[in-house]
A and B are shown apart, each in its own frame.
Chain A
Amino acid sequence: MTELPPTRYSLLVRLNQNSGDAWSEFLEVYERAIYEFSRRRGLQDADAWDVTQEVLAAVEKKAETWNPDSSRGSFRGWLFRVARNIAVDKVVEQSRRAAASGDTRVAQLLAELPKLPEQQSTIFWIEYRRNLMRWAVERIRHEFKETSWSSFLMTAVEGRKPEDVAQELGVSVGSVYAAKFRIVARLRKQVAKFDDDEQAESEILKAINSRD
């Protein structure tokens, strides 16, 4: 009877009608990143979902204060920093609460926490990139044939020789190389689209500003 944990998505509810894809894409990536980050910091499932919800709500609120004229860099980059800082704060706060309730494992983690702010940020960055990558994979997966995708995974990810892969899959060596390079190029573009896309930025801003 294991079910999905309770999920709270006030954001989507609030943005239900008039939000563009960009904002919900942002949420899709960050939701998982923050959740996994929280889990890695020792929070239990339910607490991690709580934190995720809180962070996203806080990010959304903070996003209202974005001022495009300022020198804060790109909107997405700024959003990332906001999300990261809030997430790190909330996770520490939540761990502290849990420690007060007597969970020794969390207490141990808590003891390590304040010493490692840079590490926290790095971990958050890794979770973020991982989810961004997964998100991008989901978006582009359908554009490629099964053999191309396998060629890509076996070479670029597993590091196997294209010649061996070609033999195993029964395709030409050239097409294995082609799949590997094309998919990596495609992935990079998809990720870049998320990271730095003016249209996406204006969609997100529009979504945030058009709320009640």
Chain B
Amino acid sequence: MNKPNQQCFDDIQFNRFLDNQTDANEEIRVLDHIATCKQCQSALERIAGHQEVWSEIKLHLAGNKSDVPGHETQEHIELQDRRRDLKKIEQLLGPTDNPEMLGRIGSYEVSGMIGRGSAGVVVKALDTRLNRFVAIKLLAPVYSTNGSSRRRFEREGRAIASVKDPNVIPVHTVGEFLGTPYIVMQYVPDGSLQQRIEKLGPLETSEVVCVGMQVARGLAAAHKRGIVHRDVKPANVLLESGVDCAMVTDFGLARVVDEATMTRSGAISGTPQYMSPEQAKGESVDPRSDLFSLGSVMFAACTGHSPFRAESVFGVIKRVCDSEPRPIREVNPDIPQWLSAFISKLHSKRVEDRFESADEVANLLSQELAHLQAPTMVSQSARDWWKQPLPPIKVNTKPAVKPREVYRHQRAIQRVVLAAAGIALGVLVLSGISRFDFSGSSETPVPLASVEGPNQWDSLLALTKQENENLPQFKNSVETTIDVKSGGLLLLQTNLGALDVVTHDKPTVEMKLVHTVSASDQETANRLFQATEIKFELGSDDPRGTNLAKGKDAVIVATFPTRKLTQKEIEESYDLEELKEQLLIRYNSHFRNAEFELRIPRKFSLNLETSAGPILLSNIDGSAKCITRGGHIETGSITGKADLVTEGGHISTGDLGAPAILRTKGGHITTGRVQGELVAKTHGGNIHAEDVSGLVDVETNGGEIELGHMSAAVKARSLGGGIRIWKADGSVQADAPAGSIDVNFTHQPSGETKLNSSAGSIRIGYVDGLSLDIHASSAIGRIAAPFVENKGGKTLHYEMNGGQAKLTATAATGDVRFHAIEPSELDAEYEEMLNDIRGQRAFQLAYDTHMSGRIDRAMELHKLAAEFEYYKGIATYNLGCAWALKGNKENAFAALNDAITFGFDDVGQFQSDKDLDSLRQDERFHEIIARLTQTAGLEAKSKK
């Protein structure tokens, strides 16, 4: 046993010792002493911290540092999440016959999960129609519960689909399945840059440059269309054959996610490691934000990890905003100085200090890559960017404009116009090249030039679809007028066509087709146009046996497009049908789009079918049967029966004069008043109907149901949302397992009512004097009925005024509440709601029409939308945009000034909207901007 070799120390000395305040001599003495003196050890232990502190430290810091003791490990959590995700996905999917598959999403057989992202999960699936694998991104339920964010997701998805670039993952389709929006993309088996880094560590210099260049190219393609990626990170860079082909995915999704969460809580979201400082601070971002993230991606490729790391999200953000990452060459000395400097420049905290555009970055990197790959043949680039001194500090005088919710629509318009500008180089509108008219006859149009033989055709058409997509696009317009008597039926079948039908006062059917193909040059395009067969047939009988319009005068059948066979082809062919099919496939690889504009007499019925594309109808005095395999259907009023079906997209109608069947596989259904029965079914989306006189059967797998005044029996079922019926006169059967139910009775119901909700509450409004036999129960919630004393029971049976009509309300977790209503108040509220809905419908229709490029029609619709107070400003602004596109400056300025008067004061919108480009040089435009800035200034002042 050792004896203390010195006398013990006192508390003051120990305090000094613990604080490192002892001098060298004393330090040695204390160290020696405490090694053996039990008494001093105890004293120090006591001074260092009381017993609780010691045991807490032991408890909380035990085990591996990154682990949370007594807690699931990170891997365990991830594994569990993955299992639950898989289970959720399986629950979501439709049943499949294939035992190797998890289930189906539409025509896709899902085979497994690829990954989880911030916005949802990604699954691998087989596209059974084209027999190819695809990756499907399903939007997480958090983001899909809100209707507007779903619409936005759809719209954004389409915009993303418009970006065609070898370095951007192609988006095939955007759709909705059982209320879950999804995006179908090309499947890339090799995995992401993230996986590659995790598996194999840092990349070689030339690989980093190669990947960086390709990502920059992909970003440049999107930036040209006004899309900022906002979530560039290694997991969103997919690789094929090593790093030879890098493709960027998930464009713009971050924004959709942002918007969804913004509306919920004013928050922003994303993976902060790769965010730019401006994005992390929630400021507005431009394409250069993606350049910062590209810098982070390249940093990770060089070093194997992200540049800004910390244990918490807040820590990461602080680093992103305030600190410089560790120099790359400290981590990986193989990386050359210039590349490290290049990445640092991308990482400039100030936007202006970064490179100017993704294009510039791509070009610089491609020069470097050429030099790296063949140093003797390609000389090193000048690297001016490196030598340049930092640019002087600029003061940003542009006011930061935050778009209001509704103004978001405008951004999308801007993007489409940008997209058009992007292809303008190759576009040549060949209006009238094969313009032909035939009236009252079924003669086949004669092409202007003879068609070349099959050999030329083969070389002409040998390119694959993908190659064709990079070719310039050419348009051709064909117009036809067919005389008919006052009424009739139009049958039209087309491949990939947008259909726009309006009525006019003439006894003719006028058809204008604008047809777009990709081709290497105009001559080739002309040949393609000439070889296109557009069949118009006029007959007195309906060849398809539809019995839409009795007593019709004319039936017009149009099919489009097919490729005509040459005489030689017909002679030499063994199997004509097969040849036709092959030619059609080849033809279709050039075929881009078709837009039909039809004018029909007032009394005319329609039977329209398109493989993909929206259908727009004005008021139709007849029946309408419309089918689109992808795209929305928007109509004015329809006096006859309506049968509208889309496989993806919303359906919106005006008043319907006869029974209606409305079905969509994904999207909202909105309809005006219906005279007769209404059947409305959607696999995902809200259903909205005004007053209905007949029986109602509505069902959605995910969304809200809102019905106006229902005169007859109602059957409503929503698997995902709530149900609201403003006034029910007949019996009601409402099932909302996940949402609340709200029903009002203003008249004695003529039948039995059954209301069922598992997760929501049930509210029943009644007027005095109703005779109801009430049975209410709730497992967890309360029952509130002012007409009877209810001592917090879980069930209630009460016969109100004799109990004639049976009413059963069953809630599992929510409350059941009865409340007396004042009919006049209810009516006022209802009117207000109707006005909102109608305004929204009008605005949406005008907007969609504008987007699709039918400016004349859109202008009429903008005016209608402007009649609704809420949309007055923005609709008038849109009208101004339309005038600007039409080249009428006078009217454009008048409308824009009106729009400002009506309260549309988004300076940023005015400054950035491509629709207004033709006005920018005009003095009056500057006046508008001045006026807006002044208004904004005044507002800012008055706020202070």
Say yes or no: B265 contacts A9, CB within 8 Å: no
Q: How far apart sit A53 and B313, CA to CA, in the bound complex (Å)?
A: 12
Q: How far is the CB of A147 from chain B (nearest CB, A)?
A: 13
B552 contacts partner chain A, Cβ-Cβ < 8 Å? no
Q: How far apart sit A99 and B62, CA to CA, in the bound complex (Å)?
A: 34
Say yes or no: B282 contacts A172, CB within 8 Å: no
* Chain B neighbourhood of A12, CB < 8 A: 314, 317
A75 contacts partner chain B, Cβ-Cβ < 8 Å? no
Q: Mark A183-202, 1 if CB is under 8 A from B, else 0.
A: 01111100100000000000
| CB-contact partner of B35 in A101, A157, A173, A185, under 8 A | A173
* Those of B70-97 within 8 Å (CB) of chain A: 71-72, 77-78, 81-82, 84
B493 contacts partner chain A, Cβ-Cβ < 8 Å? no
A79 contacts partner chain B, Cβ-Cβ < 8 Å? no
| CB-contact partner of A28 in B33, B118, B312, under 8 A | B312
B578 contacts partner chain A, Cβ-Cβ < 8 Å? no
| CB-contact partner of A27 in B82, B314, B321, under 8 A | B314
Q: How far apart sit A9 and B280, CA to CA, in the bound complex (Å)?
A: 9
Say yes or no: B60 contacts A31, CB within 8 Å: no
* Chain B neighbourhood of A7, CB < 8 A: 269-272, 313
With A1-B195, A129-B60 as contacts: A31 and B312 at CB distance below 8 Å: yes
* Chain A neighbourhood of B370, CB < 8 A: none
Say yes or no: A182 contacts B18, CB within 8 Å: yes
Q: How far is the CB of B662 from chain A (nearest CB, A)?
A: 28
Q: How far apart sit A118 and B352, CA to CA, in the bound complex (Å)?
A: 55
Interface segment among B39-47, B392-400, B801-809, B877-885: the answer is B39-47
* Chain A neighbourhood of B374, CB < 8 A: none
With A8-B265, A172-B35 as contacts: A158 and B54 at CB distance below 8 Å: no
With A36-B71, A53-B267 as contacts: A6 and B118 at CB distance below 8 Å: yes
Say yes or no: B813 contacts A100, CB within 8 Å: yes
Say yes or no: A174 contacts B60, CB within 8 Å: no
* Chain B neighbourhood of A206, CB < 8 A: none
B738 contacts partner chain A, Cβ-Cβ < 8 Å? yes
B427 contacts partner chain A, Cβ-Cβ < 8 Å? no
* Chain A neighbourhood of B41, CB < 8 A: 177
Say yes or no: A6 contacts B119, CB within 8 Å: yes
Say yes or no: B265 contacts A6, CB within 8 Å: no
* Chain B neighbourhood of A28, CB < 8 A: 312, 314-315
Q: How far is the CB of B316 from chain A (nearest CB, A)?
A: 9
Say yes or no: A57 contacts B265, CB within 8 Å: yes
A178 contacts partner chain B, Cβ-Cβ < 8 Å? yes
Q: How far apart sit A138 and B81, CA to CA, in the bound complex (Å)?
A: 28
Say yes or no: A36 contacts B114, CB within 8 Å: no
Q: How many residues on chain A are close to B (CB under 8 Å)?
A: 61
Q: How far apart sit A181 and B281, CA to CA, in the bound complex (Å)?
A: 41
Q: Mark B755-788, 1 if CB is under 8 A from A, else 0.
A: 0001100000000000000000000000000000
Say yes or no: A157 contacts B57, CB within 8 Å: yes
Say yes or no: B265 contacts A185, CB within 8 Å: no
* Those of B38-67 within 8 Å (CB) of chain A: 41, 44-45, 47-49, 53-54, 56-62
With A8-B268, A39-B72, A182-B48 as contacts: A3 and B759 at CB distance below 8 Å: no
Q: How far is the CB of B562 from chain A (nearest CB, A)?
A: 43
Say yes or no: B116 contacts A1, CB within 8 Å: yes
| CB-contact partner of B18 in A40, A46, A185, under 8 A | A185
* Chain A neighbourhood of B738, CB < 8 A: 100-101
Say yes or no: B57 contacts A187, CB within 8 Å: yes
- Pick the most buried of A12, A129, A137, A138: most chain B CB atoms within 10 A of its CB: A12
B140 contacts partner chain A, Cβ-Cβ < 8 Å? yes
* Those of B431-486 within 8 Å (CB) of chain A: none
* Chain A neighbourhood of B758, CB < 8 A: 100
Say yes or no: A182 contacts B20, CB within 8 Å: yes
Q: How far apart sit A46 and B82, CA to CA, in the bound complex (Å)?
A: 12
A45 to B, closest residue via Cβ: B81
Q: How far is the CB of A103 from chain B (nearest CB, A)?
A: 8
B813 to A, closest residue via Cβ: A100
With A39-B77, A174-B35 as contacts: A10 and B266 at CB distance below 8 Å: yes
* Chain B neighbourhood of A209, CB < 8 A: none
Say yes or no: B140 contacts A46, CB within 8 Å: yes
B115 contacts partner chain A, Cβ-Cβ < 8 Å? yes
B863 contacts partner chain A, Cβ-Cβ < 8 Å? no
With A13-B267, A182-B20, A184-B49 as contacts: A4 and B54 at CB distance below 8 Å: no
B32 contacts partner chain A, Cβ-Cβ < 8 Å? yes
Q: How far apart sit A27 and B314, CA to CA, in the bound complex (Å)?
A: 7
A163 to B, closest residue via Cβ: B35
A159 contacts partner chain B, Cβ-Cβ < 8 Å? yes
* Chain B neighbourhood of A27, CB < 8 A: 314
* Chain B neighbourhood of A99, CB < 8 A: 813
- Pick the most buried of B82, B194, B268: most chain A CB atoms within 10 A of its CB: B268
A44 contacts partner chain B, Cβ-Cβ < 8 Å? yes
Q: Mark A7-39, 1 if CB is under 8 A from B, else 0.
A: 111101110100000001001100110001001
* Chain B neighbourhood of A187, CB < 8 A: 49, 53, 57
Say yes or no: B265 contacts A156, CB within 8 Å: no
Q: How far apart sit A50 and B261, CA to CA, in the bound complex (Å)?
A: 10
| CB-contact partner of B84 in A24, A44, A185, A191, under 8 A | A44
Q: How far apart sit A31 and B122, CA to CA, in the bound complex (Å)?
A: 27
Say yes or no: A2 contacts B118, CB within 8 Å: no
B318 to A, closest residue via Cβ: A24
Q: How far apart sit A39 and B261, CA to CA, in the bound complex (Å)?
A: 21
* Those of B822-876 within 8 Å (CB) of chain A: none
B119 to A, closest residue via Cβ: A6
With A3-B116, A27-B314, A182-B48 as contacts: A133 and B759 at CB distance below 8 Å: no
7 A-B pairs with the lowest CB-CB distances in the bound complex, closest first: A1-B115, A174-B31, A100-B759, A13-B282, A10-B267, A8-B267, A174-B35
Contacts A/B (CB < 8 Å), 27 sampled: A1-B235, A2-B115, A2-B116, A6-B257, A6-B269, A8-B269, A10-B282, A12-B314, A13-B267, A13-B282, A32-B312, A40-B71, A100-B759, A101-B759, A130-B59, A157-B62, A159-B58, A174-B33, A174-B35, A178-B30, A178-B34, A181-B34, A181-B44, A181-B45, A182-B20, A185-B18, A186-B18
Which residues from chain B sit less than 8 Å from chain A, CB to CB?
Answer: 17-20, 30-36, 41, 44-45, 47-49, 53-54, 56-62, 68-69, 71-72, 77-78, 81-82, 84, 114-119, 122, 140, 142, 191-192, 194-195, 233, 235, 257, 261, 265-273, 280-282, 311-315, 317-318, 321, 738, 758-759, 812-813
Beyond A3-B117, A10-B282, A133-B60, 12 additional contacts (C-beta under 8 Å) are A4-B273, A13-B282, A133-B61, A138-B311, A156-B58, A174-B33, A174-B34, A177-B41, A178-B31, A182-B17, A182-B20, A185-B19
